[in-house]
Structure 1
Amino acid sequence: MGNFLYGIDFGTTNSALSIYNEDSKEIVATIIVPSLLYFFSDQSSSAPLKYVVGKEAIEAYVTDGMSGRFMKSIKRILPRSSFIETKIYNRRLNASDLVTLILKELKQRADVITGVDCSKAVIGRPVFFDDDDASKDILAQKRLNQAASNAGFSDVRFQFEPIGAAFAYERTLKHKEKVLVADLGGGTTDFTFLSLDPERAGAKERHTDIIATGGIYIGGDNFDSSFMWEKGTPYFGKHTLYEAAPGKMLNVPVSLFANICSWEQMNFFNGQKIKNDLDNYYHYSKKDRKFKNLITLTENNLGYSVFQAIERSKLELSNNPNTDFLYSKMGIEIDEQVSRMEYDQIIQKDLNKISKYLDEFLLKNNILTTDIDSLFLTGGTSMVSAVNNLFNDKFPEKPIHSGDNFISVAKGLAYSGYLFEDN
């Protein structure tokens, strides 16, 4: 039957699991599942919650008339102390509960392939869950630990995600190199500088090869949020005026629109108080047509479909100088051309933060450009053209490589069995 180890990359956008056969010392399969949850509208108080994960969540979301509860970017709530739990059809689920559902799905799919109930895993984690905040990092790690246990993993080690990516890249090298690895995901951007040597691939002791690690809480979700703020929110009434008192017109609070730009907020932006507030603003705005779009968005759980349109625009701009930001659903109509130059300006603030952090990371760890032999970029956000330009501008003389942006980390984690030698 074989002995197996699972390398698990629980990601903000996608999650992946690589199955490593410890006897044959090879990866036998890799599974990718979008990090999405959908809870059906038709639930019974006496039965377990009915839900689906991944692509099936998207299909069910549409088939179910978008009347259930759709959730994405769940990883981003792990460090949030303000998030205690959410209520889903009279059931209370905390952060670990939500993550458990995705890890359990990955495990079940992998167990079908291996034919065993595998409880051994190396699970990836960002270098910092939230901008070098120790208390938030401890909270996120605790919640992830609990989720892994709930999902059936009793023998677990954790590895920084960029180190996992580095170990996957190492197996493609011909000779020893000092490599700067950048893992650009949906929620975080992580850096690791380490010595890679194909002759040491699979060695039991790798701690001495890791020279420096660091990260910042900025990723593709931030790009999407910035785009939604600039290009999306005007279609949902960001500039709406309402009559606060007879003859006194004020702008609707911008906090309402900040919430629809952030998935960690939109996941839970459906309480009764919010609904009452929106109805009141709509009434006192004399039923502003664009503000009505905001009510339609929240009441019909359309957030994911809007962000899908944003994601399509982002991907198209990686290969084309112009694209159209298009959305048409339930009376909400968006049709606007966006240029790559304009998109780059929209995300420039986030790019500047990544660039500044990278400079600080190199300075803090006394890493000179001449010390770096090559760079390895991974993660879905690394495909954004402006991100590639950032690294090409900083390291014009260095070769920049990339692997499979969605499975490199999981494969590298599966190669990290040396972590179990500690005990």
Structure 2
Amino acid sequence: MFIGFDYGTSNCAVAIMDQGKPTLLPLEGHSTYIPSTLCAPTRESVSEHLFRHLNIAPSDVVGEQILRRSIAYNREEGIELVPEDIVFGQAALDLYLKDPRDVYYVKSPKSFLGASGLHEVQISFFEDLVCAMMANIKHTAEQQLQHTITDTVIGRPINFHGRGGDLANQQAEAILIKAAKRAGFRHIEFQFEPVAAGLEYEAALAQDQTVLVVDIGGGTTDCSLIKMGPSYRGKTDRADSLLAHSGQRVGGNDLDIYLALKKLMDHFGMSSQMVSGIKMPISQFWNPIAINNVEAQKDFYAKQNLAALNRLRQDAQEPEKLLRLIEVYNETLGYSLVRRAEEAKIALSKDDNYLVRIALLNEILEVDISRAQMVDAIESPKSKMIELVKEAVSQGGVQPDAIFMTGGSAQSPVLCQAIEQQLPNIPIVRGNDFGSVTAGLTRWAEICFK
């Protein structure tokens, strides 16, 4: 049996073909989407959980070394791991927000898969994370279907990590393949996410069109200029219909991060100065909220950085603000700050103002943000997204007949307006913002595995 598998940066979804149409399966309660999150007692618990409770062995020598060290660490800490200790999706976020200090929390591991400079140990650890999430989703789907799932088409962005090129993409695909095989899939194919979304749109077309698919997800923005319609539907070779691709690791997460940076981090000391008049180092305010950057997170939460933060507080003109930043360090609040910014972004798509409330140990910090301020804060990532739209059209050498927008961040009226301004007088068609890619992957799986 086959499924289409959208292993997304923000959410994951899977679907089967049912009576000729893709049908998404519930993955968390009644929801057909599960947030791409994992929460565990310790970082080391993931590897042990796979081996001890799911009977999933490491894929190589490095993984075996990690497993041995993980088991030894958990025994030293007195952690007796039970299956329920590893949680996923909204349950993982709820557990993290309840007490960030006492758990290990990961959001959007897909963002890191193509990162340059990863060591073998880091690559193996990300493989474990992805495998655990995929195994949970596969098991949930199989329970509902009462059938073993053996084959899958997994969606992938045009570029996993910025413009890291083939090496970054090969690294990310290798991690996904190993993780998927360990989770129990036998036959694995990939399809570009914007192409998959286009396949779902194509199913409803009565005549051929040239369509610009713009997929703005949590981690990446991907654009594909595609000829589609009845003449192309169902073909196994679509090379001639794919006119251009562009993609970069800039998505909804970046909008949240920039909004947090521009509107929240001043309250933690970013724009303040030292007694000497020297400005605060920007990295100390960027790193905690750069949740899609391995090195930034590592640098901020390193043990030696606490001493640096205390020195900044001692030398600060407004030391009370630096105390808040030290609390971010001690309480691991980076994800929480970005979450508050995400809530503001969503609210400001409809409302003119939004009051952010940040619960700290000794105060409730309130920050009022206007829609205009939000638009100004996200200008940098928004501009990168529009450049990708321009690049795809330029490469294809032809104006599209329609623009098909999909992805969670495609709901943003700010982004829609920016694309309309870039490509005026071209109709914008909206799909299922969260489900189009999954549906298209499932249609492609039917072609691959029939």
Query: TM-score range with shorter-chain normalisation?
Result: 0.7 to 0.9
Aligned to 1:207: 239
Identify which of 172, 192, 204 aligns with 1:160.
192
Give the deviation of 1:285 after TM superposition: 4.1
* Gap change, CA 1:344 and 1:286, over 3 Å in 2: closer
* Gap change, CA 1:63 and 1:256, over 3 Å in 2: closer
Identify which of 10, 35, 53 aligns with 2:7.
10
* Gap change, CA 1:11 and 1:133, over 3 Å in 2: same
Aligned partners of 1:83 and 1:95 also within 8 Å: no
- Tell me whether 1:78 sits opposite 2:106 in the alignment: no
* Gap change, CA 1:339 and 1:168, over 3 Å in 2: same
Aligned to 1:36: 37
Aligned to 1:56: 91
Q: Matched residues in 1 for 2:87 and 2:322: separation?
A: 32
SS at match of 1:71: strand
Q: Matched residues in 1 for 2:162 and 2:325: separation?
A: 31
Q: Matched residues in 2 for 1:93 and 1:140: separation?
A: 12
Aligned to 1:346: 377
Aligned ranges 1:395-414 → 2 under 5 Å = 395-414=423-442
1:377-401 deviation per Cα after TM superposition (whole angstroms, max 9, x unaligned): 0011111121010121123222111
Identify which of 106, 114, 118 aligns with 2:149.
118
- Tell me whether 1:306 sits opposite 2:337 in the alignment: yes
Give the deviation of 1:131 after TM superposition: 3.1
Say which structure is richer in helix.
2
SS at match of 1:416: helix
Aligned partners of 1:321 and 1:340 also within 8 Å: yes
Aligned to 1:261: 289
* Gap change, CA 1:78 and 1:332, over 3 Å in 2: farther
Q: Matched residues in 2 for 1:8 and 1:274: separation?
A: 39
Give the deviation of 1:286 after TM superposition: 8.4
- Tell me whether 1:27 sits opposite 2:22 in the alignment: yes
Q: Matched residues in 1 for 2:396 and 2:323: separation?
A: 52
Aligned to 2:66: none
Give the deviation of 1:321 after TM superposition: 2.5
Give the deviation of 1:257 after TM superposition: 1.0
1:56-112 deviation per Cα after TM superposition (whole angstroms, max 9, x unaligned): 10222244565211111211111113343789xxxx962222222221221111111
* Gap change, CA 1:249 and 1:200, over 3 Å in 2: closer
Aligned to 2:175: 143
Q: Matched residues in 1 for 2:318 and 2:351: separation?
A: 39
SS at match of 2:405: strand
Cα RMSD over matched residues? Answer: 2.7
Q: Matched residues in 1 for 2:120 and 2:277: separation?
A: 37
Aligned to 2:367: 336
Identity %: 26
Gaps of 5+ in 2: 26-31, 46-73
Report the residue type matching 2:428 in the other structure.
I
* Gap change, CA 1:188 and 1:65, over 3 Å in 2: closer
Q: Matched residues in 2 for 1:201 and 1:390: separation?
A: 31
Say which structure is richer in strand.
1
Aligned partners of 2:6 and 2:14 also within 8 Å: yes
Report the residue type matching 2:341 in the other structure.
I
1:14-72 deviation per Cα after TM superposition (whole angstroms, max 9, x unaligned): 11111235xx5443433311011111269743755832110110222244565211111
Identify which of 256, 266, 280 aligns with 1:234.
266
TM-score by length of 2: 0.82
Aligned partners of 2:405 and 2:429 also within 8 Å: yes
Identify which of 340, 350, 364 aligns with 2:395.
364
Aligned length: 406
Q: Matched residues in 1 for 2:437 and 2:397: separation?
A: 26
Report the residue type matching 2:5 in the other structure.
I
TM-score by length of 1: 0.87
